[in-house]
Amino acid sequence: MTLRTMRQDELHMIADDPVRPHIDPESRLEDGRNIVVLENDITGNIDAIVCTALTNQLPTTEDELFENATPLGSILVAYTVWSYTKGAGRTIINQLRDSAIDEKCDRLVTLSPLTEMASKFHLRNGAKLLEKNNLCQNFEYELRI
């Protein structure tokens, strides 16, 4: 399984985003933001997708996330993730954690919806709940060095 940036011809897959389908592809790719895919090395299929932004502070809303996104950020924020195959969500988060370490990020956090499904997903995958806000909740994954 390989992590890579989503290509232009794959942007139509953004319509499958179950968490933040209202965010257009262009906004997801502005400075400090990226769409990362988990490509199956055998089939060439995309098994999971995660949208990220680099910031220098913990965002509590989408507006804060996008206002503070910067290519020089030290906090990698995963703000939406979905998978097409069982277990691929966990795999993409684990590989994203490894990528954050390689990119010298200080932290990997989420801007997650206030749903039981999001909570279970992140807690089951080793994240710790940082805080619940009015619209979102933040989890943090420990960066293992």
Give residue limits of the domains in the chain.
Answer: 2-141
pLDDT band at 118 (very low <50, low <70, confident <90, very high): very high
pTM over 0.85: yes
- Reading the block at residue 51, the tokens are 């949208």
Residue pLDDT, tens place only, 90-99: 999 999 998 8
- Between strands 107-110 and 112-113, the pairing is unpaired
pLDDT over 70 percentage in the chain = 99
pLDDT value, residue 145? 55
Q: How far apart are CA 25 and CA 140, in angstroms?
A: 25
Residue 127 pLDDT greater than 80, yes or no = yes
CATH architecture for segment(s) 2-141? 3-Layer(aba) Sandwich (3.40)
